Structures are given as structure tokens and as C-alpha cells.
Structure 1
Amino acid sequence: MKKVSNVFYITVAIIALTVVFGVIAPKTYEQVTTNIQSFVSTSFGWYYLLLFAAFLILAIIVAISPYGRIRLGKDTDRPDFSTATWVAMLFSAGMGIGLVFYGASEPISHYIVNPATEEPGTGAALKEGLTYSYLHWGAPIWAMYGITALALAFFQFRKDEPGLISSTLKPIFGDKMNGPWGVVVDVLAVFATAFGVATSLGFGAVQINAGLNHLFGVEIGFTSQLVIIVAVTILFIISAWSGLSKGIKYLSNTNMVLAVVLLIIVVVVGPTLMIFNIFTETFGLYLVNMLEMSFRTAPLAEDNRSFVDGWTIFYWAWWVSWAPFVGMFIARVSRGRTVREFLLGVIIIPTLFVSFWFAAFGSTAAFVHDSGTDLSELSSELVLFNMFDQLPMSMVLSVIAILLIASFFITSADSATFVLGMQSTKGSLTPPNQVKLIWGVAQSAIAVLLLYVGGLQAIQNTIIIAALPFSFVMILMTFAILKALREERQRMEKLAKGK
């Protein structure tokens, strides 16, 4: 434990106090987080929308600019992982469990329960619901991840700085980031990461519980979810112990294989022609209307404000809470790629995949619903398995889905223990196993707490609160990387002229 920094002790103490508070006074904890979450959503919704739109525009500009030729590493460095493995790692760390949890339930909700602007149950509502699903999981999120990871990778591999969030702010604040202010920034990043990942673990436990209930009658409730979290925690700690190049690499590739197999089967046994037709049209609508949807705040009384708060603002806050974790992990596995290759790969490939995923699962869910099986009254974790019941190979689909969720669960937690270990050991690329063990247990403890005090609602409240302060750090990181890229470009031009 010699490598451990003050960030480790401070953040563990804060998390421990939070967990104790939640256990001792769960109702008070839920009420407090609900009040704060309501204030954040109401007062800062416009801010989140502007933030993500800015990330997308900026990422595209940087990718196509002369900065795109700069390599994330030394000029002689080349990628450590193949493109296929790299993409698999992006998905496993970036959104994993959420794709399975929301793949069918979100489009159905937009279609039947709470459309953004259209009449419920209409074809227009279905198309609109899919375009919003693409927005919530597509380009703006991956652009935000890309800018965050770009800053981390550039300073770590090009400038040989420690792999810390605070290191990316040195172009603005200089050596002040080596002192207390740097500790504050890194503690904030670690805290946001721990709660952001714990949220996903909570969703995963609920989804696995629902699947096991559907297939084998396992009781749905906190006790079952606790057993699931304990079992998966043991598995991902074993994986974390094996290191980045082994455990996470193999699990990430497994995730992609299972996800592609599940997707193909759904396309084949579902309404195949409808899926391809509706994807073609709605993806076009998404590209045309992306800016309008990205800036929609629903400011007037007759607007559907609940849709914006409950979906778009919730997602934007959730993704911000994941930014330090996903950004660090993407940076770690992207050494040797050029800025252009990195940004375009991070934005385009995941956006296309997740959009087709939602088109396939959302169209199939709508088809099943319109055929007489009401999916609109079910909780999110049950929609997927009830949809599978109405398709051929339903048992196979359900088993693959449970395995995929469990695999995503393990990979996300495994990746997070590595990143949290890095951040609390002064940026070490090989954090001690003891540190990863402690962070693995801490993540699971937070997930258990959130489920205990209020289920998914408490989870949503907490991540929105944790994300807001870190979003200000991300803005500073953006200014810092732009300044650093400009200086690096000037340096390279002088060297070229000198030759």
C-alpha cells in the first residue's frame, strides 16, 4: 500500500460516511437526495444540454482539424490493442448493462407511456421515441467521453504526466495541481466514478434478478439482489486480480460476441423487415433533428417537462458521473492512436451500433405490444424478458441476456476497480491488488446501499447529484487540452521547419 495517495483515504472515508448514513437513516437519505436531485434537474437542465451539444461540436472540429494528426503517445507508438478488441473495450466500459436494461424498455416508454411531443401509441411516437433513444445513447455521450479521454491520454502518453484528472489541468493552473487543489479534483473524480459505476451495478443486479425470476421463479427483492451483487463481486475481483491485458480484454471480447449474437437472433426472429426499415428512417430523422433534440428544454407550461427531466437530463447527469471512469479507461487502452482516429472511432462506431441496437429491440418491443401483449405497465427490468416470451427461441434469448448482463456487470466493475486504483495511487498503471480489492468491495457496498434505501429512484437521485460538480472540472479539462494541442501543434511545426 506504499503507492496509495491521500485521494484514496479521503474518498474511502467520504464514501463510508455516505454508506453509513444511508444504512442508519434510509428514508432520510432518500428524501434528501430526492430534494437535491429535483433542484439540480430543474435549475441546471439547460446547462447539461448546452454542455453536451458543445462537446459534440468541439469533438468533430478537433477530429477534422490539423490537431487530428497528433498521436496519443510518442510519434513511434502504435496501438496496444487491435481495433476489434479496442471497440469491445469501449462498449464494455462505456455503457454495457444499460443497453440490455433499456434496449426494449426505453423505446416502449417513449412510444406508449410518456412520448416527448407526440400522441401516445402512434407511429409518430414510436419514431420519435427511437430517435430520442439514439440521442440518449449516441453521439453526444461518446463525444463527451472522447474529449475527456483525449485529455487524459494526451497528457499521460504524450507528456508523461501521471494518469490523473488533476494532471490534465496543469496547462491552466500549473504546479498548483500537485498540491491540495489537485487532491480535491481527484477526490471529486473518484467519488463520481464510484457512484456512477455503482449505479450501473444496481441496474445490473435488478435486471439479473428479473431474468432469474422470469426463468426460474427466483423472488424479486433486495435479498436476491444482495446475493447477486455478492456473487458477481467475487467474480470481478478475481478478474481484476488478473490484470488489464487478461481479464478485461477477454471479458470485453466475450461481451461483444454475446451482444452481437443476441442482436442477430432478435433481428432474425423478430419483425426483421420492420427493424431495417424503421432503423433507416429513424436514424435519418436522428441525424436531421439531433441539434433540435439536443437543445430541447421544454420551458413552457404546455411542454412535456417530465420527459426532459426524467430522461434526457437524467442521462446527461449519469454519463457525466461515468466520465472520469470511462475517460480514464478509454485513454488507457488507446495509446498509439492519432487524435483523429481516436475521436472518430469513439464517436461513430458506438453511435451506429447502439442506434441499431435500439432500433432492433425497440421495434420488436413495439411489435409485441401492438400484437396484444401489453408491455407498457411493466417495470423496466421486466420488459425485455416479457418481450422474449412472445418470440421464438425465448428461453435461449433470456439465457443469453442474463449471461450478457452478468458479463457486462463483471467487466464494468473490473474496469472501474482498475481506474479507481489508478486515481488513488498517483496515476500508477499497475495499482496494487489490495487497492483494487478495496475499491471493488466499496463499489458493491454503494450499489447495495442504493438498492436498500430506495431502489432505482435513490440510484437516479445520487448520480445526478454526484455529476454536477465534476461537470465543471470537465469544462476546465476541455480548455486545458485545447491549449495543450495548440502548443503541441506549434512545437511540431517548428521541428518540421528546423529539419
Structure 2
Amino acid sequence: MQKLTDASHPVMPILPSLLSITIIGLTLVGALIWQSEFASALAYISSAVDGLLRWWYVALVAFLTAFVLWLGLGRYKNVRLGKDDEQPEYQLFPWLAMLFAAGTGVGLLFWSIAEPIMHFQGNPFSPEGLTPAAASTAIQLSFFHWGLNGWSIFAVVAITFGYFSYRHDLPLAPRSALYPFIGKRIFGFWGHMVDTLSVFATVFGLATTLGLGARQTGTGLKWLFSIEASLWLELAVVAVVTLIATISVVSGVRRGVKVLSELNLLLTLVLLAAFMVIGPFDYMAGLFVQEIGGYLDNLLLMTFYVGANEPGSWQSTWTVFFWGWWLAWSPFVGLFIARISRGRTLREFVFGVLLLPTLITFVWISVMGGTALHSELFSGGGIVDAVNKDVAYALFATIEHLQTSDSVQFVMGFVATLLISVYFVTSADSGALVINIILSGGQLEPPKVARAGWAIGNGVLTAVLLVAGGIAVLQDAVILAALPFSLVIVVMVAGLLKALRSEPLAAPREGCKYSRADEPWTGADDA
């Protein structure tokens, strides 16, 4: 098996960094100087390509879901992300903690109540809103947007990064997936372009997540301490979190990111336990069991639903946004997952990445969203009105409706706000680390100055986009930023398939006397 050593490629490619900084710098200037024009332009472009994105994102995510399941179950399931005798670098608990914290923590805290409540009021799969049937559909749709399909995107990107880096000694960067096609020319123009598009998508995916976290943290501070909610409060939250994230990312994965990720998971369990003890536990458990069945039963329908015959904007508002967000977020989460998954087989990796975070996510939605739906159906409601006024208030409105004392509600609200803040920090420091790994040519420990610079830069971009138009601008930006990277993912899948054909663990083709596995892996055919 032919491999490239670390000495055979540049350590610090300059062009991707310059391109990334230039593009993001121009975005910052435009968003800051021409705020209304910038927001209007994003909205116009999003509307213009909406028809394309509705079918393209749906088809791509459906394919990636099937592809990653085939990797975990098919002929290459025993291929290891590393040498054949390597063992996993991290044990199960810290691995799971970092998977969940870096993947969907902030977004799930924001949407786990708001999304079911909004689907409860109306969706294409329920003939009538605000009914028990609509409540069931609302949970299933929330499972769909946060479940197997989304994590399949992360898994495919992570497998590609980890396979080429740990098994073939190529950089831990998107450019490595091109090696089966163009060989060492990945260290030239096309490799630079792929890495730049990946950083572009990552930065805007990160900005969207940080913007949601800032909005909800500000709402939590208002709820706890009666602080006036404002854009300035959100900007102050971004500034504080950026400072903490900078300190964390400079300290490295083991000391900074790993510790914060484990704290995230512990706080998550504490908050879940409080809701289970105080809230309607039998209803939550019943909803969890019932709607997993409904989700699995309707998974194909939801996966391929485009809304082609319906003029409404539900598909664009929800599925297109979420798939765009997951796709834009995938270079960050995929590389981060690959960074912590060395030594695992494809089978271990696929079912770990797909099943464990998805199961925790379903429990979380059933507990949080289920508590809110129970209040609407059986306890007088009020959460629908609160969410319609301010979507970021959903979690705290639900805490208010729990049958418990004011002091207990305050403690739960404090833990929730702290959890949002820690997830916020974890996403910020992990994102800065991943961007630097890509731009440094796959170095696992990029220079501390570069790490700090990108942590600060991400915070500045988030703040500027909040000033330019808030959550709506962030959502339009991430949907559009994901489009070029969606094409990169297609190329990455093709490169991975071409490279896997030479694996010694692949079964011979039927009717052939030998397999391509008997031949050495030489990368590009003409390289």
C-alpha cells in the first residue's frame, strides 16, 4: 500500500488561508457597512435558488444516509481508521461526550422545544394543527431533522477524513479525498480550492450555531436576572464566550475541549433528570417509545419529501435549512469526529456515530418537547403563545409551566443557561481548532497563535452577522454556504469509494479469480 509521509507535502499551505481570510473579510465589511443591503441580497439569492435546494439537498442527504449504512454493514465494515492493529484512542464515554457536544448541542437546546411546538401548530403531514395527531407528527419531524439523516452527513465526512489520514498518512483535510484521482497534485490548486470551500462552509455553519447560542443565552439571562434583552446583550455574550473559547482552544483537545465536552454531557444528564422527575414522566416515556416507531415507519416518506406539489414554504423553512446547516457544519464536525476516532473500524464508527448521539437526541426531544406538548394538550398550555412571540424563550417558558416551586425553576433555568453557555464555548473552541487543522495542511496541533486568531475571528463574524440582521441572516448565509460544499462531498464520496476498492478486507468480486485488494494502492491512476 503506497503512502505519503508527512515530509512529502507542504506543512503550511498559504493559499487556502489567504483565500479564506479574504472571503470572510469581505463578508464582514459588506455586512457591517451595508447591513440592510447585505440582508436583502442574501434573502434574494436564497429565494432564487430555493427550488434547486429543495430537491438537491433532499436527494443528497438520502444518498449519504444509505451510503453510510452500507459502509457500516457492507464488505468494508472491518476496515479500520488507522493501522490494522490500532485500538481506539478514546474510551466510549469521552468519545460520546465529544461527539454530542461538538455536533448538535447548541442547536438542539435551541430547537428541542421550539421545533415540536411550531410543527404542532401546522405541518404538511397533519391535516389539522393543535391536535394529538399533530403532536405525534411534530415529534417525528423533530426526530427526523435531528436523527439518522443528519448524523449520516457527519459520519461520511468524518470517515473520509479519518480514512485518508490515518490509513494512508495523508493530511487530515478535505483535499486528501482527491488523492485517488490526482495524486500528489492535491497539494496544488484543486486541493487549495477544496480546503477553502470547506473552511467557508464551516465558518458560516459555526456562525449560525453561535448566533443561536448567543440569542438563547441572552434570553436565559433575561429570565434569570431580569436583564433587558437586546442586541447589545447578545454581543456581550458572544464576546465573553469568544474569550473563553480562545483560552480553551489554545490549551488543546485533551485539556480544553475534552474537559468542557464531559462537563456538557454531565450538565445535560442533570437537566434531563430534573425534567424527568418533575415533569410528566409517563407521558415522556410513552411518547419516546411511540414516536420512535412512528419515525421509523415514516422515515422514507420524510427523507424523500420535497413538497413539489405544495406552494408553501414549510420545506424551505425547515428541511432545507436543517440540511444546509448540517452540510455546512459537516467539515467542522466531521473533522473533529475523525480527530477523536482514530483506531475504530467502520462498523464501530458508523453505529457509534449514528446510534449513540441519535438515541440521546431522541430522549432529549421526547423529554423537553414532550413536556411542552403535554402542557399544551393537558395542562392549559401557554407555551405556543410564548414561542410565537420569541422562539428563543421556548425552554424557559416550559420550565415556567412545570408544577414545582419558584426556587426549583430558578435552579433549572440557571443550569439550562449554564449548559447553553458551555455548549456555546465547546462549539466555538472546537470550530477554531478544526479550521486551523484544515488550513495548516492537516496538522493535529496547529500553532497556538493561529488557533486564537480563528477563535476571535469566528466570534467577530457571528457578532457582525447578528448586527446585520440576526437569526434570519445567519440562516440564509448557512443555507447558501453549504451549496458549494455539497458538491465537494460528492467528490469526497467518489474518492473514498475508489480508494476502498484496494482494501485487503474487501471481498473478491463474484466471478473473479482475484480482487483489487491483491494490488497495491497507488493513488491516482496517472499520478
- Distance (whole Å) between structure 2 residues aligned to residue 451 and residue 116 of structure 1: 33
- Counterpart in the other structure of 1:191: 200
| AA partner of residue 325 (structure 2) | W
Q: Where does 1:43-192 land on structure 2 (aligned, <5 Å)?
A: 43-112=52-121, 114=123, 116-192=125-201
- Distance (whole Å) between structure 2 residues aligned to residue 497 and residue 176 of structure 1: 26
Could you tell me how far 1:395 is from its partner in structure 2?
1.1
| AA partner of residue 299 (structure 1) | A
| Contact kept in structure 1, 2:75 and 2:507, CA below 8 Å | no
- Counterpart in the other structure of 1:292: 301
Equivalent residue pairs, number:
495
Could you tell me how far 1:372 is from its partner in structure 2?
2.4
Q: Where does 1:11-50 land on structure 2 (aligned, <5 Å)?
A: 11-50=20-59
- Distance (whole Å) between structure 2 residues aligned to residue 251 and residue 44 of structure 1: 36
- Counterpart in the other structure of 2:442: 427
Does residue 353 of the first structure (1) align with residue 353 of the second (2)? no
- The partner residue of 2:461 within 446, 453, 461 is 446
| Contact kept in structure 2, 1:109 and 1:115, CA below 8 Å | no
- Counterpart in the other structure of 1:378: 389
| Contact kept in structure 2, 1:233 and 1:441, CA below 8 Å | yes
Does residue 411 of the first structure (1) align with residue 419 of the second (2)? no
Does residue 255 of the first structure (1) align with residue 264 of the second (2)? yes
Could you tell me how far 1:437 is from its partner in structure 2?
1.0
- Distance (whole Å) between structure 2 residues aligned to residue 298 and residue 3 of structure 1: 46
1:391-413, Cα deviation, whole Å (9 max, x unpaired): 12211211111111111011111
Could you tell me how far 1:99 is from its partner in structure 2?
1.2
Tell which deviates more after alignment, 374-383 or 7-16. 374-383
Could you tell me how far 1:43 is from its partner in structure 2?
2.2
1:111-160, Cα deviation, whole Å (9 max, x unpaired): 02556433110111110010010000000111111111001000000000
- Counterpart in the other structure of 1:367: 374
- The partner residue of 2:230 within 209, 221, 237 is 221
Bigger helix fraction: 1
Could you tell me how far 1:39 is from its partner in structure 2?
2.2
| Contact kept in structure 2, 1:145 and 1:323, CA below 8 Å | yes
Change (3 A) 1:180 1:272: same
Does residue 310 of the first structure (1) align with residue 317 of the second (2)? yes
Change (3 A) 1:121 1:71: same
Tell which deviates more after alignment, 452-461 or 369-378. 369-378
| Contact kept in structure 1, 2:112 and 2:364, CA below 8 Å | yes
Tell which deviates more after alignment, 54-63 or 110-119. 110-119
SS at match of 1:326: helix
SS at match of 1:68: coil
Does residue 397 of the first structure (1) align with residue 412 of the second (2)? yes
- Distance (whole Å) between structure 1 residues aligned to residue 70 and residue 221 of structure 2: 46
1:285-314, Cα deviation, whole Å (9 max, x unpaired): 1011101111111112xx373221111111
- Distance (whole Å) between structure 2 residues aligned to residue 351 and residue 328 of structure 1: 19
- Structure 1: segments with no counterpart, 5+ residues: none
| AA partner of residue 322 (structure 2) | Y
RMSD, aligned α-carbons: 1.8
TM-score, normalising length: structure 2: 0.91
- Distance (whole Å) between structure 2 residues aligned to residue 490 and residue 412 of structure 1: 36
| Contact kept in structure 1, 2:76 and 2:506, CA below 8 Å | no
1:142-187, Cα deviation, whole Å (9 max, x unpaired): 1111111001000000000011101112112333322111111111
| Contact kept in structure 2, 1:148 and 1:324, CA below 8 Å | yes
Does residue 237 of the first structure (1) align with residue 246 of the second (2)? yes
- Distance (whole Å) between structure 2 residues aligned to residue 495 and residue 169 of structure 1: 19
Q: Percent identity?
A: 37
Does residue 465 of the first structure (1) align with residue 466 of the second (2)? no
| AA partner of residue 383 (structure 2) | L
- The partner residue of 1:342 within 349, 352, 356 is 349
| Contact kept in structure 1, 2:504 and 2:518, CA below 8 Å | no
SS at match of 2:129: coil
| Contact kept in structure 2, 1:171 and 1:480, CA below 8 Å | yes
SS at match of 1:268: helix
Change (3 A) 1:304 1:397: farther
Could you tell me how far 1:374 is from its partner in structure 2?
1.8
- Distance (whole Å) between structure 1 residues aligned to residue 507 and residue 62 of structure 2: 31
- Counterpart in the other structure of 2:17: 8
SS at match of 2:84: coil
Tell which deviates more after alignment, 334-343 or 177-186. 177-186
- Distance (whole Å) between structure 2 residues aligned to residue 425 and residue 492 of structure 1: 37
SS at match of 1:69: coil
- The partner residue of 1:322 within 329, 333, 351 is 329
Change (3 A) 1:336 1:217: same
- Distance (whole Å) between structure 1 residues aligned to residue 362 and residue 517 of structure 2: 42
Change (3 A) 1:390 1:185: same
